[in-house]
Homo-oligomer: A and B are copies of this chain.
Amino acid sequence: MYELTVLLEENGKEPLYEQIYRHIREEIRQGKIKAGEKLPSTRLLAGHLGVSRSTTQLAYDQLIAEGYLSAVPCKGYFAAGVEGLCEICSEKKNSFDKQTEQERCRYDFSTRGIDADGFPSGRWKKLAREVLSEVDTELFTHGDSQGEQGLREAIRDYVYSARGVNCRSEQILIGAGSEYLLMLLNQIIGEKSVIAMENPTYMQAYRVFCGLGHQVIPISMDEQGIDISELKQSNASLAYVMPAHQFPTGKIMPLGRRLELIAWAAAEEGRYIIEDDYDSEFRYRGRPIPSLQGYDRNGRVIYLGTFSRSIAPGIRVSLLVLPEKLLERYRQFCGFYATTVSRIDQEILARFIQEGYYERHLNRMKGVYRAKHDLLLELLKPFQTRFLIRGENAGIHVLLEERSCEGSDHPLPEDGGNEIRTDRQSVLLREAWLVSQAERGGVRVYGTSRYYVDGQAKTATILLGFARMRAEEIREAVKLLAEAWGITS
């Protein structure tokens, strides 16, 4: 095992974890730690350096996320191959300084953000002006801590008709963003829980749960979604899932699996499902399946929705639908929390929904995104010799899963095409290579490994978010991507 001695500046400008991260990164870059070499455990290294284990864990997490280390369950941490990574070293910056990192690329297939032109800013502003001119100072006083009654009623009607969510307006909590509502939910539940999450998953939610001290158990996914038998074997009491459109895999959970999941929750007292319905609005094939919440007869589904994604990220409004038992606990323990959304904003949103603008906006955006989606899929046809297209039925991103081949030490072998899976380390290297080649060509794409709790996808898979890009940008970016990856049409 490699012996690590890091000269730490206790009172330096850089946090300790970052000093450790940089040191190990340099050692790997310079070949002092060789590919495949085992690193000390986080516990050992923490003891050796006299720092806390969370510090070494954070440094390792960062190294894993950037492809310098790979974590092999039950075995430990191993340095990644330096050849594949050297390409990235010179390009890739510490992901803590995010701004400069993104400036380099002309095109960005980010999954964050929405179609900015699609936002009905004129209508929104008009409603805002209306609200401002009509209301008296009443709207500047204390509001209902759950959110205004009018908005909750508008939301109840909308989620019922569009998503099949069955609830009274009293069960709805309005909050400034989904992360805040998860923090509040943590207090409603009131005890540290074991939370099962699909793996890969939405890392923001993962970080919220970990940050709050819950134990998170990643559960594998099969074609239909979260693996129920694995879930049953875990001792989780909460399961966080995205049945309408799993992030990042894009999978839509079929009805059968939904019912199995509900049965899991009903089987034991105190089990709940958190249904994150973040991206249910855009679906291109098949009939929409109602929310899990709508099938639940036992009050075990906590429904989480957001307007940040369906209207605009700047609209900081999300909602939680609580089962009756948790509603009681909310009133008992958390009713004193004042609302986090201004009453004016609530009133604007309520009118936006009530007067039918929200529905119209969604229908328009479905058309806009479908057009981009169809264009992208059309342009990606030549990529199918090397990639499987995944998650193409819904949402605002697709995935390119590389058809991989066996035992090559080159990150992207020329004879791609057969589908034998390579080992995990090589998957990471291949993803990193795809990302860095694209970046050199001027296109920012994203590997899915970053969404795995253990830092590793099973297959090299690239995410392409298309919401923010215009049609001509999509055309140009795919052309550059084909060149960067050596794909001929």
Assess whether B177 is in contact with A139, with CB atoms less than 8 Å apart.
no
Within 8 A of B (CB), among A334-389: 334, 336-345
B-binding segment of A25-33, A121-129, A217-225, A257-265: A121-129
Smallest distance from the beta carbon of A325 to chain B beta carbons, Å?
A: 9
Assess whether A121 is in contact with B137, with CB atoms less than 8 Å apart.
yes
Closest 6 CB pairs of A and B: A176-B340, A140-B314, A140-B312, A176-B176, A142-B313, A125-B132
CB nearest to A206 among chain B residues: B336
Within 8 A of B (CB), among A313-346: 313-316, 328-329, 331-334, 336-345
Assess whether B328 is in contact with A15, with CB atoms less than 8 Å apart.
yes
CB nearest to A124 among chain B residues: B140
Known: A137-B121, A141-B116, A142-B113. A339 touches B312 (CB 8 A): no
Assess whether A314 is in contact with B141, with CB atoms less than 8 Å apart.
yes
Query: What CA separation (Å) do A84 and B117 show in the bound complex?
Result: 67
Query: What CA separation (Å) do A183 and B179 show in the bound complex?
Result: 12
Known: A314-B344, A345-B342. A140 touches B113 (CB 8 A): no
Query: What CA separation (Å) do A16 and B113 show in the bound complex?
Result: 45
Chain B residues in 8 Å Cβ range of A342: 314-316, 342, 345
Chain B residues in 8 Å Cβ range of A125: 132-133
Interface centre among A117, A139, A141 (most CB of B within 10 A): A141
Assess whether B143 is in contact with A314, with CB atoms less than 8 Å apart.
yes
Give residues in A with beta carbon < 8 Å to B.
Answer: 15, 17, 58, 96, 112-113, 116-117, 119, 121, 124-125, 128-129, 132-133, 136-137, 139-143, 176-177, 179-180, 183, 187, 190, 203-204, 207-208, 211-212, 308, 312-316, 328-329, 331-334, 336-345
Query: What CA separation (Å) do A179 and B143 show in the bound complex?
Result: 15
CB nearest to A338 among chain B residues: B177
Q: A117-B137, A141-B314 are in contact. List 12 more A-B contacts (CB 8 A).
A: A58-B332, A119-B140, A128-B128, A128-B344, A129-B132, A141-B313, A142-B314, A179-B338, A183-B187, A190-B211, A315-B342, A342-B345
Chain B residues in 8 Å Cβ range of A58: 332
Assess whether A137 is in contact with B113, with CB atoms less than 8 Å apart.
no
Chain B residues in 8 Å Cβ range of A331: 96
The number of times this chain is found in the oligomer is 2
Query: What CA separation (Å) do A284 and B124 show in the bound complex?
Result: 43
Query: What CA separation (Å) do A386 and B362 show in the bound complex?
Result: 66
Assess whether B176 is in contact with A341, with CB atoms less than 8 Å apart.
yes
Assess whether A204 is in contact with B17, with CB atoms less than 8 Å apart.
no
CB nearest to A188 among chain B residues: B211
User: What would be 5 A-B contacts, judged by CB atoms less than 8 Å apart?
Assistant: A121-B137, A177-B339, A204-B336, A342-B345, A345-B345
Assess whether B176 is in contact with A141, with CB atoms less than 8 Å apart.
no
Smallest distance from the beta carbon of A197 to chain B beta carbons, Å?
A: 16
Query: What CA separation (Å) do A399 and B119 show in the bound complex?
Result: 52
Cross-chain contact of A332 among B15, B133, B341 (Cβ < 8 A)? B15
Chain B residues in 8 Å Cβ range of A179: 337-338
Chain B residues in 8 Å Cβ range of A313: 140-143, 338
Assess whether B211 is in contact with A312, with CB atoms less than 8 Å apart.
no
Assess whether B116 is in contact with A137, with CB atoms less than 8 Å apart.
yes
Cross-chain contact of A129 among B129, B137, B139 (Cβ < 8 A)? B129
Query: What CA separation (Å) do A316 and B314 show in the bound complex?
Result: 15
Chain B residues in 8 Å Cβ range of A339: 177, 316
Cross-chain contact of A336 among B207, B315, B343 (Cβ < 8 A)? B207
Assess whether B132 is in contact with A128, with CB atoms less than 8 Å apart.
yes
Cross-chain contact of A187 among B121, B212, B341 (Cβ < 8 A)? B212
Assess whether A343 is in contact with B314, with CB atoms less than 8 Å apart.
yes
Query: What CA separation (Å) do A204 and B140 show in the bound complex?
Result: 20
Query: What CA separation (Å) do A312 and B331 show in the bound complex?
Result: 25
Chain B residues in 8 Å Cβ range of A334: 211
Query: What CA separation (Å) do A140 and B328 show in the bound complex?
Result: 35
Smallest distance from the beta carbon of A342 to chain B beta carbons, Å?
A: 5
Smallest distance from the beta carbon of A183 to chain B beta carbons, Å?
A: 5
Chain B residues in 8 Å Cβ range of A143: 313-314
Chain B residues in 8 Å Cβ range of A136: 121
Assess whether B187 is in contact with A176, with CB atoms less than 8 Å apart.
no
Assess whether B340 is in contact with A180, with CB atoms less than 8 Å apart.
yes
Cross-chain contact of A340 among B177, B211, B312 (Cβ < 8 A)? B177
Query: What CA separation (Å) do A208 and B342 show in the bound complex?
Result: 21
Chain B residues in 8 Å Cβ range of A208: 337
